[in-house]
Amino acid sequence: MDTEHRVILNVGGIRHETYSHVLKKIPATRLSRLTPNLANYDPVLNEYFFDRHPGVFSMILNYYRTGKLHYPTNVCGPLFEEELEFWGLDANQVEPCCWMTYTQHRDTQDTLAVIESLDLDGDPPTQEEIAKKFGWEDDYYTGNMSQWQRLKPRVWALFDEPWSSKYARVISSLSVAFILASTCSFILKTDPSFQIPDIDVFYSLRVVDEGGFKNYHKTIGTDKPVTSPHPNFFYVDLICNIWFTIELLIRSLFCPSFHKFVRSPLTIIDVISTGAFFFESLLHAILIQTGSLVTLDFLSMICVLRLFKLTQHFSGLKILIQTFKASAQELFLLVFFVILAIVIFAALVYYAERSQLNKDNQFTSIPLGLWWSLVTISTVGFGDMVPKTYLGMLVGSLCALMGVLTIALPVPVIVSNFSNLYSHSQARAKLPKKRRRVLQAHEVKPALLGVKQHHGKHRKKSSSATFNQPPANFKNANGGPSMHDNSASKLMA
């Protein structure tokens, strides 16, 4: 009775035996619809053959037996998903004990997709990849590439891909040098040693009547209302901004997609910084007044944003920025708890300092307590505001401890995200760009059909040749048994 309901499954060369009613436990799956009419059923061996992964199938067959799907740790996640899809099973049925291990490959795939978007490759792309990047696949495959289509990617690589060639590295070094020179100029021109005072000289004449005689007193005075940077800083900024303008024009002309290029944050920073400099120079030429100088100083602060352009030339900065993006949820949670703690401890210290007689009370309002609470939670502690009462000191101690614990909580998450991105980027950089191509199933079938036709013709020839077989001791030119004899003997067998 058991023999009639027993099912033999040969998966990847390993035989598995079970009962038909076990396979019916999960309906609408491949194993629940097994019939002898299937092409993979062997009536001689009385088994079903599947050319699939045998190790994963052990877990799948155990799922039919016990109703619990566990994840094997010796296979990759995408392979396990492909096997589940082949057998018609849902991947969401994995047990909770294996869920974290099973979903790790999804996080890895997301990380690799992020690294792919960061464009951290150290090897130049192929011509096919360049054509796809610029949207010229049809012209590339047909061979109708114009001179402009051949020139545009080369110029773009010079200004956007520092690792593409030695000339691109030279241009990248020049760009970094101009960014650093512009930033150093902005910093140094605020130093008093590099500033020239605008001295106003005034004269006064006073007449004094002394005993009928008039005496004239002349007074000469000077005043230094404002100071201005050394004129050489203007020429340094002018040269740097001319380079940034030329670079911006070339990049906008040779970019793969103008719409994506305009919406890029680095492009917006470059446009604003360059425009602010020329607008500042125009105002400086027209208005030289105290009020206008404040506006000019404010506009000159925008050039500091050019430091973000260094992310184009250093892959580590890209990974660091992407780390903060990946940790945005944890950072927002940290800011929420810090704001909540600031408000609570500001109110507590305000009322704690008023609970006793305190002539030196510095916490006259809760807004002042907010400043003290922020400085204490961030563990800075300027010491400009200090609680005097015992209850206030207790609140201050709790505030400091809360700050240490709250700020330290998201640090491991940020470090883990950075380590994950950095390790995957380093591993990806060491992978070979070119891999051996594996034929797909639809590409293999025509070849197999050709082999079958060849064997069919060979069988006809060998069957006709059996009537005229050479002697058994006949040998070929190499001294071995003849191929004709071997084929005939195989056919007879």
Same domain? 79 vs 92: yes
Q: Which residue has the tokens 């709790």?
A: 398
Q: Quick count: other Cβ atoms within 10 Å of Cβ 332? A: 11
In a domain, 418, yes or no: yes
Same domain? 96 vs 12: yes
pLDDT > 90? residue 70: yes
How large is the average pLDDT for residues 116-130? Answer: 69
The confidence score (pLDDT) of residue 406 equals 85
Record the tokens describing residue 348, joined without a space: 């507590």
Q: What percent of the chain has pLDDT over 90?
A: 26
The confidence score (pLDDT) of residue 293 equals 47
Summarize pLDDT for 434-489 with one digit per residue, the tens.
Answer: 666 677 666 665 544 454 454 444 444 444 443 334 444 434 433 444 433 443 33
Instruction: Name the more confident of 208 and 31.
Output: 31
What distance in Å separates the CA atoms of residue 418 and residue 430, rounded to the nearest whole number?
19
The confidence score (pLDDT) of residue 299 equals 66
Same domain? 69 vs 86: yes
Same domain? 75 vs 23: yes
Same domain? 379 vs 424: yes
The confidence score (pLDDT) of residue 25 equals 92
End position of a domain, from candidates 273, 294, 313: 313
Number of domains in the chain: 4
How large is the average pLDDT for residues 419-445? Answer: 71
In a domain, 221, yes or no: no
Q: Quick count: other Cβ atoms within 10 Å of Cβ 112? A: 15
The confidence score (pLDDT) of residue 202 equals 67
pLDDT > 90? residue 16: yes
The confidence score (pLDDT) of residue 485 equals 41
In a domain, 153, yes or no: yes
What distance in Å separates the CA atoms of residue 285 and residue 66, rounded to the nearest whole number?
85
Q: What is the DSSP string of 210-277?
A: ETTEEEEEEEEEEEEEEEEE-HHHHHHHHHHHHHHHHHHHHHHHH-S-HHHHHT-HHHHHHHHHHHHH
Summarize pLDDT for 42-57 with one digit per residue, the tens.
Answer: 999 999 999 999 999 9
Q: Which domain holds residue 285?
A: 170-196+228-313
What distance in Å separates the CA atoms of residue 112 and residue 115, rounded to the nearest whole number?
5
Record the tokens describing residue 390, joined without a space: 């015992």
* Edge-to-edge strand list for the sheet holding 41-42: 14-19, 6-11, 47-50, 41-42
CA-closest candidate to residue 182, choices 273, 98, 97, 297: 273
In a domain, 492, yes or no: no
Residues in Cβ contact with 449 at an 8 Å cutoff, skipping those fewer than 6 apart: none
pLDDT > 70? residue 432: no
Same domain? 147 vs 84: no
How large is the average pLDDT for residues 83-103? Answer: 90
Residues 378, 335 contacting (CB under 8 angstroms) = no
In a domain, 484, yes or no: no
The confidence score (pLDDT) of residue 492 equals 35
Burial profile 27-63: b = 16 or more Cβ within 10 angstroms, e = fewer: eebebbebeeeeeeeeeeeebbbbeebebbbebbbeb
In a domain, 218, yes or no: no
What distance in Å separates the CA atoms of residue 140 and residue 375, rounded to the nearest whole number?
61
Same domain? 284 vs 338: no
Q: Quick count: other Cβ atoms within 10 Å of Cβ 429? A: 13
Using only the alpha carbons of the chain, give its radius of gyration: 40
Q: Quick count: other Cβ atoms within 10 Å of Cβ 160? A: 19
Summarize pLDDT for 395-416 with one digit per residue, the tens.
Answer: 999 999 998 888 888 888 888 8
* pTM for this model (two decimals): 0.63
In a domain, 438, yes or no: no
pLDDT > 70? residue 376: yes
Record the tokens describing residue 114, joined without a space: 């992020």
Question: What is the average pLDDT score of the chain?
Answer: 79
Same domain? 257 vs 367: no
Q: Would you say how long the chain is, in residues?
A: 493
In a domain, 346, yes or no: yes
pLDDT > 80? residue 160: yes
The confidence score (pLDDT) of residue 295 equals 47
Same domain? 188 vs 246: yes
The CATH number of whichever domain residue 305 belongs to comes to 1.20.120.350
End position of a domain, from candidates 291, 313, 335: 313
Same domain? 320 vs 307: no
End position of a domain, from candidates 411, 428, 445: 428
Same domain? 398 vs 297: no
Instruction: Name the more confident of 151 and 2.
Output: 151
Same domain? 187 vs 292: yes
